[in-house]
Amino acid sequence: AQSVTQLGSHVSVSEGALVLLRCNYSSSVPPYLFWYVQYPNQGLQLLLKYTSAATLVKGINGFEAEFKKSETSFHLTKPSAHMSDAAEYFCAVSEDFNKFYFGSGTKLNVKP
């Protein structure tokens, strides 16, 4: 069975600081992994995805994530937070395109 665990429902960082959002997954086969961002009153927007190519994946808005099979992790990072990064972030895992399993989300707060 597939599942996703996002550690920390709320993360707060100062503007300019490192952003680290944690995601661990369980999957019986090499999965596809995704990070989505949701701004208030909007739908989910794809940030980046891992599809078994390079383990370090670069996405939009300066975000990147590293697939670590040994740790079953796919943490999202950004070197320097911007106020506009404040949003909710969802990690998702999929073994079958028609079945995406989403984590419970992490709300990122960026302090000036």
Residue ranges in contact with other proteins by CB under 8 A: 32, 34, 36, 41-46, 49, 51, 90, 94, 97-100, 102-105
Rounded distance between C-alpha atoms, residue 79 and residue 85, angstroms: 12
9-19 burial code (b ≥16 CB/10 A, e <16)? eebebeeeeeb
Rounded distance between C-alpha atoms, residue 21 and residue 19, angstroms: 7
- Residue 39 beta carbon to other proteins: minimum distance, rounded to whole angstroms: 10
- Residue 101 beta carbon to other proteins: minimum distance, rounded to whole angstroms: 9
- Residue 42 beta carbon to other proteins: minimum distance, rounded to whole angstroms: 6
Nearer of residues 81 and 105 to other proteins, judged by Cβ? 105
